[in-house]
């Protein structure tokens, strides 16, 4: 039977999204994702230069140490909040606990920052192509120096779709499933993949991080994709999602390409929705609106998922 305490997780998700909308990101010295990046940067120094077996073991060990530390810290904070509010009567306790969890969850979400950065690419393109190339380099890891105007815009839209899952939907999903430790673990795994999950010299050192992110992102990526497209496009979505090397990123990116009826892709590697047109300036704002609608659409089922957890 559901009780008042089951409302804590849904209310905390709402609080986190409201804080994100109003205040944006916390300062870097107070940002847990920055702390994760600092740890990964320090542990990873020289790691790719080791022999494959040693690089793999070192990368896996670093991931496990970081994951346990992050999830353990989140668990301790959750317990501290529960302990500090236990003397309150039920409804004030729920309100204070939800507020505290919302504040702690917020740094693991980044919708406002993502939207701002993507729209800034379009604004920069209005100044010059070089400005657009420089701006889109902030949100993608590819070489942007030779991109055309259309490719700069499409790269920004593609990054919006991929990071909608990584920076918003997946942390909310894991928060609904496993509370603050779940969301924190996911954010660490995604940060590790972003920093270590490359081929070439990081092939072995980053393999564990890449596979861990694949596992944790598998279901959220597909939920994100389903929310981005209309039901009539679901059959085509399966085809587009398989065009990318990643088992997950092709789903939200393919969904966005189909929804906007545009091409998205990485030159020389893949093209999503190849029969679509090239993106125009209006498509960037449309992509942001579609992404915002997807968050709103998924919030209700995620709340339902958290309430089901309360029955357990």
**Per-residue pLDDT tens digits for 45-65:** 999 999 999 999 999 999 999
| 159 pLDDT above the threshold of 50 | yes
Residues 13 and 306: beta-carbon distance below 8 Å: yes
Which pLDDT does position 142 carry in this prediction?
84
Nearest C-alpha neighbor of 220 from the set 109, 102, 63: 109
Residues 105 and 171: beta-carbon distance below 8 Å: yes
Specify the range with the lowest mean pLDDT, choosing from 104-108, 208-212, 230-234.
Answer: 230-234
Q: How far apart are CA 33 and CA 190, in angstroms?
A: 10
Backbone angles phi, psi at 264, to 5 degrees: -135, 150
| 1 pLDDT above the threshold of 50 | no
Query: Stretch 158-169: mean pLDDT, rounded?
Result: 97
Q: How far apart are CA 193 and CA 188, in angstroms?
A: 9
Which pLDDT does position 2 carry in this prediction?
47
Which pLDDT does position 310 carry in this prediction?
62
Name the 3-class secondary structure at 259: helix
Q: Is the pTM of this model over 0.85?
A: yes
Which pLDDT does position 236 carry in this prediction?
94
Query: Stretch 132-161: mean pLDDT, rounded?
Result: 93
Exposure class string for 251-271: b at 16+ Cβ within 10 A, else e:
bbbbbbbbbbebbbbbeeebb
Name the 3-class secondary structure at 265: strand
Q: How far apart are CA 65 and CA 233, in angstroms?
A: 42
Residues 70 and 188: beta-carbon distance below 8 Å: yes
> Alpha carbon of 185 to those of 36, 66, 71, 181: distances in Å?
10, 9, 5, 6
Rounded to the nearest 10 degrees, the angle between the axes of helix 170-196 and helix 32-43 is 30
Domain boundaries, the chain: 4-311
Reported residue count of the chain is 312
């Amino acid at each position: 039977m559901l009780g008042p305490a089951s409302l804590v997780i849904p209310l905390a998700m709402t609080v986190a999204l409201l804080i994100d909308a109003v205040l944006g990101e916390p300062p870097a010295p107070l940002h847990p994702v920055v702390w994760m990046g600092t740890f990964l940067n320090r542990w990873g120094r020289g790691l790719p230069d080791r022999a494959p077996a040693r690089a793999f073991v070192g990368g896996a060990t670093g991931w496990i140490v970081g994951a346990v530390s992050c999830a353990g810290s989140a668990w301790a904070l959750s317990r501290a909040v529960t302990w500090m509010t236990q003397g309150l009567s039920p409804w004030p306790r729920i309100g204070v606990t939800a507020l505290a969890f919302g504040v702690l969850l917020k740094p693991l979400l980044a919708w406002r920052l993502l939207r701002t950065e993507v729209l800034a690419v379009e604004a920069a393109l209005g100044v010059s192509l070089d400005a657009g190339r420089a701006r889109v380099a902030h949100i993608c890891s590819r070489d942007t120096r030779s991109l055309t105007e259309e490719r700069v815009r499409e790269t920004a839209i593609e990054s919006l779709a991929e990071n909608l899952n990584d920076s918003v939907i997946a942390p909310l999903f894991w928060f609904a499933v496993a509370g603050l430790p779940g969301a924190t673990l996911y954010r660490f795994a995604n940060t590790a993949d972003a920093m270590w999950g490359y081929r070439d010299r990081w092939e072995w050192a980053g393999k564990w991080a890449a596979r861990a992110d694949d596992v944790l992102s598998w279901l959220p990526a597909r939920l994100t994709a389903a929310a981005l497209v209309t039901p009539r496009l679901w059959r085509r979505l399966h085809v587009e999602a398989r065009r990318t090397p990643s088992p997950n990123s092709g789903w939200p990116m393919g969904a966005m390409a189909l929804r906007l009826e545009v091409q998205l892709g990485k030159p020389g590697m893949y093209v999503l929705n190849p029969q679509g047109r090239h993106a125009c300036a209006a498509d960037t704002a449309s992509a942001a609106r579609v992404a915002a609608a997807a968050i709103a659409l998924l919030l209700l089922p995620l709340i339902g998922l958290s309430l089901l957890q309360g029955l357990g």
